[in-house]
Amino acid sequence: MRYDDKPVVLVLAGHDPSGGAGLVADAEAVRGCGGWPVTIATAMTVQSTRDVIGVEPCHGDFIRRAARALFEDFPIAAIKVGLIPNAEVLEAIIDVARMRPGIPLIVDPVIKSGGGTELSTPGLIATIRQRLLPLVDILTPNRRELGLLTSMSDADEVAQVVEVMSLGCAAVLVTGTDPLEGEVVNGDVVHTLHTPELNRQWQWPRLPANYHGSGCTLASALAARLAAGEGLAAACAQAQRFTWDTLDHGLALGRGQYLPDRVWRAPDFDATLE
């Protein structure tokens, strides 16, 4: 049996052994939103639901070779990028994006872990701004990450987005889940899509727990819907709905943050044999 019309998403991200974020999260989100994930590790990590303890970057040539093999085998319809641990991996990701110009490139700028650990080499942001952002179709930062990617960290969100888009990034979906320092947490989470043609906001009820992997889930769900041919605003809405549901059904399996349940709709497996 063949499913020739299933959209394929290439994911380049770090491996999170807890299953909450990284390649596991990306693959589950792509499948949950109707796509098929093909994955390349950018780094191996030591981490838990509490924090990231260590990051071991993969070799750039390994990433390029893996991408070429997948491009030769699959009709890849979107590329999603997560953790970029160092300059060598960044150069490889830029090369991979240029292998297939014209297909959506979705970048989730993973700069710090939820526990505050720095995940990228210091000084990498300048190269991301200069060389990666001009290739990006949609960037999915939270507000802290957006501030780190601009030269005006104290400016308002609109001014920061305008600067990022002036560097060549086509669209930005800013997520409002994480409160800024000193900000009062209210009852709703607001996500805002910025493009040259429109600005659109969505509000979602704030859930009571803290979650490990919500950003990965959102960006990969968005990549899957764009790979399927959805328009940008509709794909953003569907990805948010999927992500909120996974958080609402989150699981407290570790001793830290909750884990999004990206297969919550699947029936429980009954291993009883009669």
In a domain, 208, yes or no: no
- How does the average pLDDT of the chain come out, rounded? 91
pLDDT band at 94 (very low <50, low <70, confident <90, very high): very high
Q: Is residue 187 part of a domain?
A: no
Confidence class of residue 118 from pLDDT cuts 50, 70 and 90? low
Cα 108 from Cα 123, distance rounded (Å): 18
- Confidence at 190, pLDDT banded by 50, 70, 90: very high
Task: Decide: 217 and 27 in contact? Cβ < 8 Å.
Answer: no
Query: For position 91, which CATH number holds?
Result: 3.40.1190.20
Q: Distance between CA atoms of 81 and 149, rounded to whole angstroms?
A: 16
**Count of domains forming the chain:** 1
Cα 168 from Cα 176, distance rounded (Å): 23
Mean pLDDT of 24-38: 97
- Identify whether 107 is part of a domain: yes
Task: Decide if 128 is inside a domain.
Answer: yes
- Which pLDDT value is given to residue 192? 97
Q: What is the pLDDT of residue 152?
A: 85
Residue 43 domain flag = yes
Query: Considering the chain, what percentage of its residues have pLDDT values greater than 70?
Result: 92
Of all residues in the chain, the percent with pLDDT exceeding 90 is 78
Does residue 235 belong to any structural domain of this protein?
Answer: yes
User: Domain limits at 124?
Assistant: 8-142+213-248
User: In 10 A of CB 147, how many CB atoms?
Assistant: 16
- In this model, does residue 110 exceed pLDDT 90? no
| Entry pTM | 0.93
Residue 96 inside a domain? The answer is yes
pLDDT band at 267 (very low <50, low <70, confident <90, very high): confident
In a domain, 66, yes or no: yes
Q: Is 204 exposed, middle or buried (0-12, 13-18, 19+ CB in 10 A)?
A: middle
pLDDT bin (cut points 50, 70, 90) of residue 274 is low
